[in-house]
A and B are shown apart, each in its own frame.
Chain A
Amino acid sequence: MVKFLSLWRGLGNMGKRVFFRREPKVSLYLTTSMYHTMIDILADSFGGNYEEAMEVMINLTRPLSEEMISSILFGTSVLGMQLKTLLSKFKDLKDFTYFVDLSLYSFFGPWAEKIFGKTKYIPAADSEEQVDTYMLRLKSCPFCYPTMVPPEKFGSHRFGKTVALTVEQMIQLSQDFLQHDFQVIAREVRCFHQGDPYGEIRVWLYPRDKQNLMQLNDYLKKIK
């Protein structure tokens, strides 16, 4: 079984490079500049209220973002292999970390390794929140680096909310495909913009019949 997984990983590693090479790309500087501008223009429309602007932007973006991730996950084929076929090989929650890292590489190319550390899996028994958890460490962050807006203006939102949302939706769609009955929630619990020395996205997989456990999660009370 382990041998087969290594084979799939090998194919996946090749596929992610081919995918990144062939897809149309935009400079990260340009992307982050535009991201800032969208937040600025929405904040301007709400009298300089950045918290409301983030709220509106997330609500506006969520459905389209889900559609976009879904089309990448289930409509992409590289080297004659469908991405969803590869996904089905990493059904085990522990092995699934590989698929998270592969997806990040597919989006950011080699820069994924400069931005993100390797995804860690924390089993429910070891997690403070008592549910299976993924931890993504950000070593650098192209999204919050350019900002000159103080973090307190964002209230309970974090600047990189859309990154956390993308990760959340990617894991949710994957887990749905794998027929795991989870409600996936992601939050950026540490952020350079907030003064932390590194960024961190935590992803909690709440079993649908244990959603009451969310009430025990202090991060969800503090961060939107």
Chain B
Amino acid sequence: MSKEKVSDIDQAQDPNFVKKITDQVLKDIDYIKNYKSIAPKAKPVKDYREAKIVKAVTSSIYPQTFGFIAKNFKKEETIEKLRWMGQRSVAIFYSIHPQRLQKKGGFVDIVREIGIHSGERVKLEKQITKKGVLQSCIIRKYKCIFCTEGYPVETPNLFYCYPSASFYQHYYNIRSLMLGNLKPRLIFVDIIKTAENDDDYCLYHVERIE
């Protein structure tokens, strides 16, 4: 778990950056709309929306998957795959929990909502707004679902919680395009630092891109 930022997808360099994000969001909205479980009987009448599981039990899969990807792919590819992991989780999450898609609320409510699901403690800082619309802010995140109380794998020069950052981004963006009236319309979330121990925190930079 390294804290040094050395490589990232440089959005400013890519003229299709916003289009790529929009396309991914629209593709996943399509997935959510067409979702049909292959095992419908697996869901009880009262669904799992309130159900929780002890985090320690869940913490054995990600570190090894992270290590496997980091070992087998180049850094840029690894970051792309890890970000995709977060996006894919959002698509599946909304598919099985579609009630969330209709829930009203702005950026702050949505970020808090993610914190409730992930068990993370989230604070918003340095919010910059223009005509009442959020332009950028910092998410300070304690108890990161990946970085704390888990079994992190030592991989130099790579942030550990890319899936979480892209989860925040995609969770907001899908809701925004589904509801159609959220401002900002699309955001990009990048990592500034990740937690080094259980009392430490992760910092994400949120930027309005549309």
Which of A86-94, A144-152, A209-217 contacts the other chain? A144-152
User: Quick one: which of B55, B85, B92 has the most chain A CB within 10 A?
Assistant: B92
Q: Which residues of A contact B118 (CB under 8 A)?
A: 26-27, 30
Minimum Cβ distance to chain A for residue B160 (Å) = 14
Residue of B nearest to A114 (CB): B44
Q: Is B108 close to A, CB under 8 A?
A: no
Q: Which residues of B contact A151 (CB under 8 A)?
A: 38
Q: Is A37 touching B85 in the complex (CB atoms < 8 A)?
A: yes
Q: Is A72 close to B, CB under 8 A?
A: yes
Q: Is B93 touching A57 in the complex (CB atoms < 8 A)?
A: no
Minimum Cβ distance to chain B for residue A32 (Å) = 7
Q: Which residues of B contact A7 (CB under 8 A)?
A: none
Residue of B nearest to A108 (CB): B53
Minimum Cβ distance to chain B for residue A6 (Å) = 26
* Docked complex: A48-66 residues within 8 A CB-CB of B: 56-57, 60-61, 64-65
Q: Which residues of A contact B92 (CB under 8 A)?
A: 32-33, 36-37, 146
Q: Is A42 touching B42 in the complex (CB atoms < 8 A)?
A: no
**Contacts A31-B58, A57-B65, A193-B38 given; does A107 touch B43 at CB 8 Å:** no
Q: Is A145 touching B53 in the complex (CB atoms < 8 A)?
A: no
Q: Which residues of A contact B107 (CB under 8 A)?
A: none
**Contacts A30-B118, A108-B53, A144-B39 given; does A60 touch B65 at CB 8 Å:** yes
**Contacts A24-B143, A38-B65, A67-B151 given; does A145 touch B96 at CB 8 Å:** yes
Query: What 1/0 flags go to B32-59 for Cβ under 8 Å of A?
Result: 0001111111111010110111111111
Minimum Cβ distance to chain A for residue B34 (Å) = 9
Which of A77-85, A118-126, A135-143, A180-188 contacts the other chain? A135-143
* Docked complex: B79-98 residues within 8 A CB-CB of A: 81, 84-85, 88-90, 92-93, 95-97
Q: Is B145 touching A146 in the complex (CB atoms < 8 A)?
A: no
Residue of B nearest to A150 (CB): B38
Q: Is B61 close to A, CB under 8 A?
A: yes
Q: Is B60 close to A, CB under 8 A?
A: yes
How many B residues touch A, CB cutoff 8 Å? 53
Q: Which residues of A contact B145 (CB under 8 A)?
A: 26, 30
Q: Which residues of A contact B73 (CB under 8 A)?
A: 45
Minimum Cβ distance to chain A for residue B103 (Å) = 14
Q: Which residues of B contact A218 (CB under 8 A)?
A: none
Query: What 1/0 flags go to A187-214 for Cβ under 8 Å of B?
Result: 0000111010101000000000000000
Q: Is A30 touching B55 in the complex (CB atoms < 8 A)?
A: no
Q: Which residues of B contact A145 (CB under 8 A)?
A: 37, 39-40, 42-43, 48, 96
**Contacts A24-B54, A26-B119, A40-B88 given; does A60 touch B68 at CB 8 Å:** yes
Minimum Cβ distance to chain B for residue A31 (Å) = 5
Q: How far is the CA of A38 from the CA of B84 in the complex (A)?
A: 11
Q: Is B69 close to A, CB under 8 A?
A: yes
Q: Is A33 touching B44 in the complex (CB atoms < 8 A)?
A: no
Q: Is A220 close to B, CB under 8 A?
A: no
**Contacts A145-B42, A146-B37 given; does A27 touch B52 at CB 8 Å:** yes
Q: Is B64 close to A, CB under 8 A?
A: yes
**Contacts A41-B85, A147-B37 known; 6 new A-B pairs at CB < 8 A:** A33-B92, A41-B69, A60-B68, A145-B37, A145-B42, A150-B38
Can you list 22 pairs linking A and B with CB atoms under 8 Å apart? A19-B54, A23-B55, A24-B55, A24-B149, A26-B53, A26-B55, A30-B118, A32-B96, A33-B93, A42-B68, A61-B60, A67-B151, A68-B57, A68-B151, A71-B56, A142-B51, A144-B38, A144-B39, A146-B96, A148-B36, A162-B61, A195-B39
Instruction: Give 7 closest A-B pairs by Cβ, nearest first.
Output: A192-B42, A60-B64, A28-B51, A145-B42, A25-B52, A192-B39, A33-B92
